Amino acid sequence: MTSGTNVVLIERQPEPSSGEAVPPSHVDSYVELERTTVTYGRAPNLVHALSETNLRIAKGDFVALVGPSGCGKSTILKMVGGILRASSGFVYVAGREVGAEPVRIGMAFQNPTMLPWLSIRDNVMMPLKIVPPFRGQYRKKRKGEFRDRVEALLAQVGLKGFGDKHPWQLSGGMLQRASLCRALVHDPQLLLLDEPFGALDQFTREELWSIMQQLWMTRRPTVLLVTHDLREAGYLANRICVMSARPGRIVDDRVFDAPRPRNLAMTYEPDFVAMTQRLRELIVEARSDEPAVA
Amino acid sequence: MNSNVNRKIASAVLIVGLFAVWEVLCLAFGVSDTVLPRPSQIFVTLWQRFPALWPHTLQTLYTTMLGFVLGVGIGVLIGVLIGWSKLAYDVAYPLLVGFSSVPKVAVVPIFVLYFGAGTVPAVLTALIMSIFPVVVNVATGLATTEPELEDVMKTLRATKFDILWNVGLPRAMPYFFASLKVAVTLAFVGSVISETVASNRGIGNVMMIASASFDVPLVFAGLFILAALGIILYGVFSLIESRITGWAHRKTEFAMG
């Protein structure tokens, strides 16, 4: 398997084109940021979180956003999720301005944010209680179809039999798996991941990469992943965008279409290491006004 | 669990010991029962006068519980309202603080003026005493919902009501139950004060009359009844709290009593 891994790097301008693993993105971009800026606060204390950013993401693509901390990666995620409004410019999801189209969105954070009073099963089921069309069927199917659906998903991430447990009875890694299940249970078209594996130990993290890849390959949602881990970005994403320090903007945008399913051995191959090395340099450059850490 | 049992035994010993010391000291120094009756005298009085005391006990319990229930209802409504909206929170908070810092005893004469002496002022005093802790706790519970949790709900396009119902209210439950324990004791204070000032029924009134006729054992008997009622109600709400919001106290063992 390892010998068959073929790493292809295509450097390019921040303008989408299609690589092998990317569906035809010039036809329709599923997520689009057009001259989007974000500022916080008022005149004297105005903070530019994001300077004019253009970004187009094709339907079913897996895009990773990397960059120094505080560069506005999470800001982009929140705008696409409809939690935060752009100060100027536009954010489109599914061809319409964000919020206009009822897109099913799943979101997972570094913190699993499980509700402590609910069992793991009820936590995972929460989106089905809120999001249409499941919402209307919730009472009827809660103990039947929906329950089976949650159980199947829990089994897929290695939490079989933990549905009745409460959050405090599970470890951090297990909670993060449950959090992924909650993000996916309503079959989202768009999955927003804000460093979901950031707080986990190396082994758990790598295991969850593999699970995440599996889930993406079977369901093919459009994924936007914010991460600090360049190996993670390379393992999971089809495309990696590097952002500059605040006020953030995208300084590098590259397609990375190694064949799938990818494995951990791939991340130690020279080509892959060279790519992460290159990304690292870009990030160091991007934060050059800060004291550089070699 | 063994240490838990030991602790319970120790606190029972403490209570019995306190009574024993009290008894012995009164006997040793020959304290008159018009100054400080011995516990044994108080219990005898309780036993002998019980038929006369019982209706007053029920009256006090009734005014307290009625005022408490109404107060909690109103408190929850106001708490949800100001915890739900940041604007309402900022606007209403100064008023609430002002309201809470008025000594509630001072409003009893006003209630008596409006409604006459008796049951109504007692209920109302219990009511206003129990509102404030409930309002503050419910509002705090709602206002401290983790922002990430709200973000998850917002990406699901949850309505404000969805968030309130599924996240805010369950999250505020431990705060709410903690406030119930405080509110029920305060409600007692309120109704007894009102009975003392203006009523012809209730334990407060009994104590008032007994002290006027220097029947000091009876005054203390009334005090013991109030203490017993207070402990019982506190215990009941502690029990309900640990049943319903056990998830919030999973790390500490909440032993009641």
Q: Rounded to whole angstroms, how far apart are CA atoms B78 and B84?
A: 10
Please indicate, yes or no, whether residues B5 and B54 belong to a single structural domain of this protein. Answer: no
Residue A31 has pLDDT above 90, yes or no: no
Confidence of residue A12 (pLDDT cuts 50, 70, 90): very low
Closest among B98, B105, B251 to B191, alpha carbons compared: B105
Rg of the Cα atoms in chain A: 19
Confidence of residue A290 (pLDDT cuts 50, 70, 90): low
For range A109-138, the mean pLDDT:
85
| DSSP β-bridge partners for residue A97 | A92
Tell me phi and psi for residue A89, to 5 degrees.
85, -170
- CATH number for position B53: 1.10.3720.10
Please indicate, yes or no, whether residues B4 and B110 belong to a single structural domain of this protein. Answer: no
Please tell me which residue, B21 or B197, carries the higher pLDDT value: B21
Residue in chain A closest to B157 (alpha carbons) equals A131
Closest among B137, B160, B152, B21 to B79, alpha carbons compared: B137
Confidence of residue B255 (pLDDT cuts 50, 70, 90): very low
Give the model's pLDDT for residue A166.
87
- Which of A105-109, A237-241, A246-250, B95-99 is predicted with the least confidence, judged by mean pLDDT? A246-250
Angle, CA of B83, B86 and B91, to the nearest 5°? 95
Listed by number, the residues of chain A in 171-190 with a beta carbon closer than 8 Å to a beta carbon of chain B are 182, 186
Please indicate, yes or no, whether residues B22 and B83 belong to a single structural domain of this protein. Answer: no
Cα A122 versus chain centre, distance: 23
Q: With an 8 Å Cβ cutoff, are A83 and B248 in contact?
A: no
Please indicate, yes or no, whether residues B138 and B162 belong to a single structural domain of this protein. Answer: yes
Contact with chain A for residue B244, Cβ under 8 A:
no
Residue B31 has pLDDT above 90, yes or no: no
Which of A128-137, A267-276, B83-92 is most confident? A267-276
Please indicate, yes or no, whether residues B121 and B185 belong to a single structural domain of this protein. Answer: yes
Count of structural domains within chain B: 2
Residue in chain A closest to B149 (alpha carbons) equals A113
For range B208-214, the mean pLDDT:
90
Contact with chain A for residue B151, Cβ under 8 A:
yes
Confidence of residue A289 (pLDDT cuts 50, 70, 90): low
For range A105-121, the mean pLDDT:
88
Considering only the beta carbons, identify the residue of B155, B162, B247 that sits closest to A192: B155
Residue A2 has pLDDT above 60, yes or no: no
Confidence of residue B250 (pLDDT cuts 50, 70, 90): low
Q: Could you give all domains of chain A from N- to C-terminal order, each with its CATH number?
A: 9-103+189-286 (3.40.50.300), 114-185 (no CATH)
- pLDDT averaged over every residue in chain A: 81
* Domain extent at residue B5: 1-31
Give the model's pLDDT for residue A25.
40
Please indicate, yes or no, whether residues B61 and B79 belong to a single structural domain of this protein. Answer: yes
Q: Which residues in A lie closer than 8 A to residue B171 (C-beta atoms)?
A: 115, 117
Confidence of residue A3 (pLDDT cuts 50, 70, 90): very low
Optimal mutation site among A79, A93, A98, A117, interface B, most CBs of chain B within 10 A? A117
Whether the CB-CB separation of B257 and B235 falls below 8 Å is answered with yes
Confidence of residue B249 (pLDDT cuts 50, 70, 90): low
Contact with chain A for residue B148, Cβ under 8 A:
yes
Contact with chain B for residue A127, Cβ under 8 A:
yes
Considering only the beta carbons, identify the residue of B153, B155, B247 that sits closest to A116: B247
B254 lies in some domain: no
Q: What is the pLDDT of residues B40-58, one digit of tens each?
A: 989 999 999 989 899 999 9
Q: With an 8 Å Cβ cutoff, are A82 and B154 in contact?
A: yes
Optimal mutation site among B145, B149, B156, B245, interface A, most CBs of chain A within 10 A? B156
B158 lies in some domain: yes
Please indicate, yes or no, whether residues B232 and B181 belong to a single structural domain of this protein. Answer: yes
Residue B139 has pLDDT above 80, yes or no: yes
Please tell me which residue, A59 or B63, carries the higher pLDDT value: B63
Whether the CB-CB separation of B221 and B42 falls below 8 Å is answered with yes
Residue B168 has pLDDT above 70, yes or no: yes
B245 lies in some domain: yes
| A255 three-state secondary structure | strand
A9-12 sheet: strands from edge to edge: A9-12, A250-256, A239-243, A62-66, A222-226, A190-194, A105-109
Distance from CA of A293 to the nearest CA of B (A): 30
Q: What percent of chain B has pLDDT over 70?
A: 96
Q: With an 8 Å Cβ cutoff, are B155 and A109 in contact?
A: no
Residue B71 has pLDDT above 90, yes or no: yes
Considering only the beta carbons, identify the residue of B152, B158, B250 that sits closest to A168: B250
B195 lies in some domain: yes
Confidence of residue A16 (pLDDT cuts 50, 70, 90): very low
Give the model's pLDDT for residue B220.
92
Q: With an 8 Å Cβ cutoff, are B155 and A113 in contact?
A: no
For range A246-269, the mean pLDDT:
84
Contact with chain B for residue A164, Cβ under 8 A:
no
Please indicate, yes or no, whether residues B9 and B88 belong to a single structural domain of this protein. Answer: no
Q: Which residues in B lie closer than 8 A to residue A102 (C-beta atoms)?
A: 157
- DSSP H/E element including B236: helix B216-244
Rg of the Cα atoms in chain B: 22
Contact with chain B for residue A170, Cβ under 8 A:
no
Q: What is the pLDDT of residues A179-200, one digit of tens each?
A: 989 998 888 888 999 988 888 8
Q: What percent of chain A has pLDDT over 70?
A: 88
Please tell me which residue, B153 or B251, carries the higher pLDDT value: B153
Contact with chain B for residue A255, Cβ under 8 A:
no
B129 lies in some domain: yes
Q: With an 8 Å Cβ cutoff, are A82 and B152 in contact?
A: no
Residues in chain B: 257
Q: Report the sign of the C-alpha dihedral through residues A107, A108, A109, A112, in that order.
A: positive
Hey, how many other C-beta atoms are within 10 angstroms of the C-beta on A70?
A: 14
Q: What is the pLDDT of residues A198-246, one digit of tens each?
A: 888 888 888 889 988 988 998 889 999 999 888 899 899 999 998 887 7
B164 lies in some domain: yes
B104 lies in some domain: yes
Query: Number of A:B CB contacts under 8 A?
Result: 57
Please indicate, yes or no, whether residues B144 and B20 belong to a single structural domain of this protein. Answer: no
Tell me phi and psi for residue A248, to 5 degrees.
-70, 145
For range B183-204, the mean pLDDT:
89
Considering only the beta carbons, identify the residue of A102, A111, A130 that sits closest to B153: A130
Residue A269: exposure state from Cβ atoms within 10 A (0-12, 13-18, ≥19) = middle
Whether the CB-CB separation of A155 and B191 falls below 8 Å is answered with no
Whether the CB-CB separation of B93 and B82 falls below 8 Å is answered with yes
Q: What percent of chain A has pLDDT over 90?
A: 9
